[in-house]
Structure 1
Amino acid sequence: MSDVRVIIQRDSEREERTVTTGTTAADLFAGERSIVAARVGGELKDLAYEVKDGETVEGVEISSEDGLNILRHSTAHVMAQAVQELFPEAKLGIGPPVKDGFYYDFDVDRPFHPDDLKAIEKKMQEIQKRGQKFSRRVVTDEQAREELANEPYKLELIGLKGSASTEDGADVEVGAGELTIYDNLDAKTGELCWKDLCRGPHLPSTRLIPAFKLMRNAGAYWRGSEKNPMLQRIYGTAWPSKDELKQYLDFLVEAEKRDHRKLGHELDLFSIPEQIGSGLAVFHPRGGIVRRVMEDYSRRRHEEEGYEFVYTPHATKGKLFETSGHLDWYADGMYPPMQLDEGVDYYLKPMNCPMHNLIFDARGRSYRELPLRLFEFGTVYRYEKSGVVHGLTRARGFTQDDAHIYCTREQMADELDKTLTFVLNLLRDYGLTDFYLELSTKDPEKFVGSDDAWEEATETLRQVAEKQGLPLVPDPGGAAFYGPKISVQAKDAIGRTWQMSTIQLDFNLPERFDLEYTAADGSKQRPVMIHRALFGSIERFFAVLLEHYAGAFPAWLAPVQAIGIPIGDAHVEYLEKFAAEARKKGLRVEIDSSSDRMQKKIRNAQKQKVPFMVIAGDEDMANNAVSFRYRDGSQENGIPIDEAIAKIVKVVEDRVQV
C-alpha cells in the first residue's frame, strides 16, 4: 500500500496526516461520534469515501446545517422504506430535507390516515434499531432504469439528471453528472433491505438517527405542477438528540398558539372570506385600527425623513411592464391580462416601481431636487400558487409600504446608509430588536445590466451593511433581476426569523425608462434608483407583529387600549365619564356594560388581550379613582382618575409593553 497525504481541516486549524491508500473519512474521524459526513474540496461526501492524496478533508458535525440536512435526508429514506414495507404498492416520489425536517412523496391508492402515520413511525423505529448501513453505488442510466423499473417517478428523474426542483425549492434527488443509488444493507448479513435513487450523502447507519417524529400528511402535485398527478406527502422532523426534538415540538405548540390566522379570528381582527378568494384578506374594525395606527406612525416618520407621498392606480397597460422587464422576468407571478380598449392588455400591478418612474419622468428634474424620495402605500397583486398561500404572510393581494429614492451617483452611498439606519430604527419602534442582514447578489442566469454596474452596486451595499455592525450573511444568486439587495432579517419573541425590509440598488430601471436629471454643469445625467420596502407588506408585517406579541399588542398598537369594567350597574355611568375624558386624550376606551358578572368581564378582557382593565366600584367612586388590572393578573388600586389617564397616555406615548 502506498502513502496518502491529506489535510484535516478543523475550523481555522489544519493538520497534515499521512495515511495508507484506502483510508476513509470515517477512519480520519474515528471516535468523533458527532461527525456524520465529510467535506472534501467543498463537496459533501459519505464517511465511507476513500480519501486521495493532497485532499483537504473537513468533518461535518451533525448539528451543523449540512449535518442536519444529512440527518433529515437519511430519515426521509428510512420513512420511505417503512412506507413500502407497510404499503408495497406505494410508488416513490422525492424525499428531500427542508427547514426543520423532511418529507417524502408517495403515489398510493388512498390518502394516509393518522393511524397509518403511527404505524409508519413504529416501523421506522424498527428500521432505525436494525442499524442498516447506507451504501452508495454509482450506476449507469441503463442500470438505474433496470433496477427501478417499477418506480415511474424515479424513471422520470433519471432523464432529468439533477435539472429539476420542487415547488418549495428543494432539489430532486439526482446528482448532476454521475448517477447514484443508495442501498440500505442489513448490518449483519449485508443483505439488501431497500434502495433508492439518490445523490446523497447519508449517515453511515440508521442507528445514528437519534430522534425523529412524523408530523402530518398532505396532498402535493408531483414536482409542484398542477398538470402532474397528486401524490401523498408525509412530513417529519429529525434532530441530533431527544432533548432537541422535545424543544422543537414545544416550540411548535407555542408557535401554534401564536398563529396569526387563529389569533385573527379569536381577536376579530381580519378574515379571508371564501367568497372573495384565497390570499385576499378583509380587515375588521379592530384589525383596521391596528393597521391604521401602524400606517399613521410610519407615515409620520417618513415625512420627518423627507419622503413625499404619491398614489398610483391598481392596473396599467402591459406596455409599462414590457419597458420595466417584468413581463420578461416576472410574468409567472402576475395575474393574466385583461383585454380592454380594443385588444390592449391591462395588468393588475405586481409592484409599484414602474409607476414611480413615470412620476419622476413627468417633468424635467434638476440635481437640486435629488435625492427625491417617493413613498406609497401601494396595493399590488401577485399570483401565488394555492399551495404556498398562507394567511397574511403569503397573500395574493397586499399593500406595500413602498419607497423609491432617486439620487446621484455621488449621493448613493450616503443615501443607502441613511435608508438602512432609518429602516432599522423604525422596526425597533414596532418592537423588533434582534436583526441580521443578508446580501443578495446577482443570479448569473437572471439579470439585466452590465457586470461592472452589478459589481459597483454590490460592493456599495456591502460597505453600507457592514457599517451597521450587524451580522452580514451572503445570499448568492438571490437578487432580483435588476440589482442586488440588502434584506433585514428579524427574530421574533420565540426565535423565528422573518425577512423584513429590503433595500435594492438599481442602475438598470433608470436606463430602461431613460430617466434623466439636469446636473450642475447643465448636462443630462442618469439617476441611481433605490427600491425600499420597510414592512415588505402591511399585511405580512401585521401578521408578524401579531405572532411576535401573541396578540397582546403594546398599548399604542392595541385596538382597545383600556376597557372599563364596572363592579355593578351603578358604576357604568361613572366609567363612561372616565372613558369620555380618556378619549379626549386620544385613547381608545370601551366600557363593558353587559349583564355578565365582573369576573367574566375580566376573563373576556384578558382573552381580548386588552392592556388596561379599568375597574370601578363604590370605593373608587367615593375617592374619584379607579383600579387597574393588567394582562398578567396583577392589580393596582385607588388611582386618581387624572393620574390613571396620564399613566395610560404615557405608556402609549412611550410605546412600551405592559
Structure 2
Amino acid sequence: MVSSVTQSPQDVKDTQEYERIRHTCAHVLAMAVQKLYPGTKVAIGPVTETGFYYDFDSPVNFTPEDLEKISVQMRRIIKANLPVIREEVERTEIRQEIEKNHEIYKLEILARIPEGETITRYFIGSPDILQGENSEPSLFANTSLQPSENNTWWDLCAGPHINSTGEINPQAFALLNVAGAYWLGDENKPMLQRIYGTAWHTKEELELYLKQREEALRRDHRKIGQELNLFSIQDDAGGGLVFWHPKGSLIRHIIENYWKNSHLEAGYQLLYTPHLANLDLWKTSGHYDFYRENMFESMDIENQAYQIKPMNCPFHVLTYKNQLHSYRELPIRVCELGTVYRYERSGALHGLMRVRGFTQDDAHIFCLPEQIAPEILEVLNLTEKILSDFGFKNYEVNLSTRPDKFVGKDEVWKLATIALQDALQAKGWDYVIDEGGGAFYGPKIDIKIEDAIGRRWQCSTIQVDFNLPERFDMEYVDSNSSRQRPIMIHRAIFGSLERFFGILIENYAGDFPLWLAPVQVKLLPVSDDVRNYAEFVADNLKKSGIRVEIDNTGERLGKQIRAAELEKFPVVGVIGKKEVESQSLSIRTRKSGDLGILTIPELKQKLQLTIDSKSVI
C-alpha cells in the first residue's frame, strides 16, 4: 500500500524554524572565519535542505583542523547569546561601507538587487550588549565587515533569522567539509572555498543526520558508478555529458523498454522528434525569451539559425498540429524519451544529478477542459505503478497554485486547479498546497519520492498549460463545428533517465533488484574440468532470457566469491564436480544467502517468478 507523505502546519513551522536557525548559523560561521583569519572576504551563505554553507575568498586554505578551530569560535559566539538585528539601509550608504571594507563580492550582490527593492542587513551583536558585563568584545575584533567602531559583525541579507545566537544549540551543529566553488557557479569567476555545515534542534538529531550522511556517502552514485563500471563523465568530451557503459546501458535499456510498454498499455502513442530546430520555433514557444540563459548558443545552417532543443514540448505541439483534430479524438496522449540539452555552469554539475545533456521521459496530453481531472487521475495511477515497481512507496505531494504573474483566464485557472485537487482526492493522497507556486502557464503537481535512507527526491511532475496552446494557435473542432483551444498537460514520471538512474543507484547502493541487474547470475566454476558444464548452464539460462556470466579468471573459488560480492551480482551459482554429476548448481544470493542445491529448471523457475514480481530473491 502506498503511503503519501505530507506536511502538517506544524511540519511547515518546524521547517521555517530550521531555516532561521541554519541561516543564522551560516552568519555565525562567517563571523568566526573573519575573526580567525583576517583578510578573508565573504561571498554568499544560504540555507540548504539539511544545513547551510558559506563561500569565502581567503588567503588560507582551510583544512579539517581549521574547521575544528572555527567550530570552537562559533560556540563562543553562540554562548555569548548575541542579538541578531535587522536594519533597512540606503543603497549609496551601504555601498560606501562595503567599499571601505573591500568586500568585492558584496558589491556584486548589492548591484544585483533591483532598484526600488528594500535592502536589508543583519547584525550579530549590538553596541548595547557590547557595553554589558557579559560582553566579549574580543570576539569581534578585526572582523572585516565592521561598519563602525561598535565591533559588531553584519552582512547584507534578506533574512529571516532567529532573535539571538543563543537560540542555536551549540551541541547540535557541525561543520562538515570544505569544497571548491566558483563564484556564482561561473567557471570564469574566482574559485572560492565553500564550508558546509548543518544545524539541528538537538544533539540526537545531529547524530542521526551524520549517520545518514555517512550512509549517503557510501551510496554515492558517482563512486558506485565507477566501481561497477556503469557510466562515466569524460573530461575529454566536456563536462556534464554522460557516457553510458555496457552494464549501465543494459539497465537503461531495461528501464526504457519497461517505460515504453507501460505507456503503450496506458493509451499513449510513442514519438521520436529531432534534436534541434529552427530558432524561430523557440521564439514562438517563449523559450527564447524566458529560458535563454539555460539554452546553448544557436548554430548557423544555410544562413538560418538552429537551436539544439532544451525541451521536447514544442515538438509534440507541432506533431499535434500536423492535422486538425475533432473533440471525439481527445484526449490524445503522446510520449517520448527525448534527449534535451541545457546549459549548466560547470560549478553546478554533479554526476548524473545535474548534467548538460539528458533524456526526459516526456509526455503530453491534449484534452478537453472537462477531461483534466480524469486524465490527471490516470497519470497519478500510472505514476504510482511505475514508481512502486522501481521500489519507491512513499511520496511527498505538492499542489502549486496560480502565481502573481500568469497567462490564461481566471476561470480556466480555477477549473484546472480544482481538477488537480479532485484528482488527488480521488487518488486518496494527502498533499500540501503551495500557494502561488505554480508555473506562469498553469498549476502543477510535484511528487518527491523517498529513498531507502529517508531522503526525498523531486522526480514526477504534472503541469497544466494554457500558454503553449495559445502561442501555437492549437485547435480542435467541437460538437458545434467551431474551433476551440485544447488543454495541454505536461508530465514526467522519472524526470530524466540520468537523474533517475542516479537515484536508483543510491537507493539500492548498487544492489539492484534482480529484474534490473545487468548480470543476474554469475557462474563460478571451481576448476577447468567443469567449465563445459558451466557453458551448458549459461546457454540454457540465456535461452530463457536470464542474463548470465561465467567467471573465467581461473582464480580460486574464495577469490571468485569475493569478486562476485564486490560486483554485487544478485545470484551466484557455484559449479563443482558434485554439481556436474547431479546436473545442478549450488546457489547463493546476496539478499537471502545460501539457497542450497537447485536443478537448472528449479533455478529458472525461481528466477522468473522473482523477475516477474519485481521482488527480491
TM-score, structure 1 as length reference: 0.84
Q: Could you tell which deviates more after superposition, 511-520 or 413-422?
A: 511-520
Q: Give yes or no for the alignment of 1:109 onto 2:59.
A: yes
Q: Give yes or no for the alignment of 1:607 onto 2:552.
A: no
User: What are the ranges of 5 or more consecutive residues in structure 1 without an aligned counterpart?
Assistant: 1-10, 13-59, 165-173
Which residue does 2:21 correspond to in 1? Answer: 71
The one-letter amino acid paired with 2:397 is L
CA distance in 2, matches of 1:313, 1:544: 28
The one-letter amino acid paired with 2:103 is P
Say whether the 8 Å CA contact 1:280–1:396 is kept in structure 2.
yes
Measured against aligned partners, the alpha-carbon deviations of 1:64-94 in whole angstroms (never above 9, x if no partner) come to: 2122122222222222222122112223333
Q: Secondary structure at the match of 1:595?
A: coil
Higher normalized contact order (CA 8 Å, seq sep 6+, divided by chain length): 2
Q: Give yes or no for the alignment of 1:561 onto 2:520.
A: yes
The one-letter amino acid paired with 1:304 is E
Which residue does 1:655 correspond to in 2? Answer: 614
Measured against aligned partners, the alpha-carbon deviations of 1:29-71 in whole angstroms (never above 9, x if no partner) come to: xxxxxxxxxxxxxxxxxxxxxxxxxxxxxxx999921221222
CA distance in 1, matches of 2:483, 2:408: 20
Q: In the alignment, which of 419, 427, 434 is matched to residue 460 of structure 1? A: 419
How far did 1:181 drift?
3.0
Measured against aligned partners, the alpha-carbon deviations of 1:336-357 in whole angstroms (never above 9, x if no partner) come to: 1112221x21101011111111
- Aligned positions, number: 589
Hey, which of these two has a bigger chunk of helix by percent?
2
Which residue does 1:363 correspond to in 2? Answer: 323
Q: In the alignment, which of 152, 159, 181 is matched to residue 103 of structure 2? A: 152
Q: Give yes or no for the alignment of 1:301 onto 2:255.
A: no
Which residue does 1:646 correspond to in 2? Answer: 605
Q: In the alignment, which of 14, 19, 38 is matched to residue 88 of structure 1? A: 38
Q: Secondary structure at the match of 1:88?
A: coil
Say whether the 8 Å CA contact 1:270–1:284 is kept in structure 2.
yes
Q: In the alignment, which of 373, 382, 407 is matched to residue 342 of structure 2? A: 382
Q: In the alignment, which of 439, 446, 456 is matched to residue 487 of structure 1? A: 446
Which residue does 1:260 correspond to in 2? Answer: 221
Residues 196 and 580 (structure 1), Cα distance of their counterparts in 2 relative to 1, 3 Å cut = same
Say whether the 8 Å CA contact 1:101–1:238 is kept in structure 2.
yes
Which residue does 1:50 correspond to in 2? Answer: none
> Cα RMSD (Å) of the superposition?
2.7
Instruction: After TM superposition, list the pairs within 5 Å mapping 1:219-298 onto structure 2.
Output: 219-224=180-185, 229-298=190-259
Measured against aligned partners, the alpha-carbon deviations of 1:306-355 in whole angstroms (never above 9, x if no partner) come to: 1111111000001111111111111111111112221x211010111111
Say whether the 8 Å CA contact 1:437–1:487 is kept in structure 2.
yes
The one-letter amino acid paired with 1:555 is L
CA distance in 1, matches of 2:378, 2:63: 55
The one-letter amino acid paired with 2:213 is L
Q: In the alignment, which of 346, 367, 385 is matched to residue 306 of structure 2? A: 346
How far did 1:265 drift?
0.8
Q: Secondary structure at the match of 1:64?
A: helix
Which residue does 2:153 correspond to in 1? Answer: 195
CA distance in 2, matches of 1:400, 1:196: 44
Residues 369 and 200 (structure 1), Cα distance of their counterparts in 2 relative to 1, 3 Å cut = closer
The one-letter amino acid paired with 1:607 is L
Measured against aligned partners, the alpha-carbon deviations of 1:5-35 in whole angstroms (never above 9, x if no partner) come to: xxxxxx99xxxxxxxxxxxxxxxxxxxxxxx
Measured against aligned partners, the alpha-carbon deviations of 1:155-194 in whole angstroms (never above 9, x if no partner) come to: 6389569659xxxxxxxxx993665533265573446533
Residues 158 and 294 (structure 1), Cα distance of their counterparts in 2 relative to 1, 3 Å cut = closer
The one-letter amino acid paired with 1:584 is K
Instruction: After TM superposition, list the pairs within 5 Å mapping 1:572-591 onto structure 2.
Output: 572-591=531-550
Q: Secondary structure at the match of 2:474?
A: coil
How far did 1:124 drift?
2.4
The one-letter amino acid paired with 1:181 is F
Which residue does 2:80 correspond to in 1? Answer: 131
How far did 1:494 drift?
0.5
Q: In the alignment, which of 595, 598, 615 is matched to residue 557 of structure 2? A: 598
The one-letter amino acid paired with 1:116 is D
Percent pairwise identity: 43
How far did 1:395 drift?
1.2
Which residue does 1:32 correspond to in 2? Answer: none
Q: Give yes or no for the alignment of 1:320 onto 2:305.
A: no
How far did 1:228 drift?
5.5
TM-score, structure 2 as length reference: 0.89
How far did 1:207 drift?
7.0
How far did 1:154 drift?
7.9
Q: Could you tell which deviates more after superposition, 466-475 or 541-550?
A: 466-475
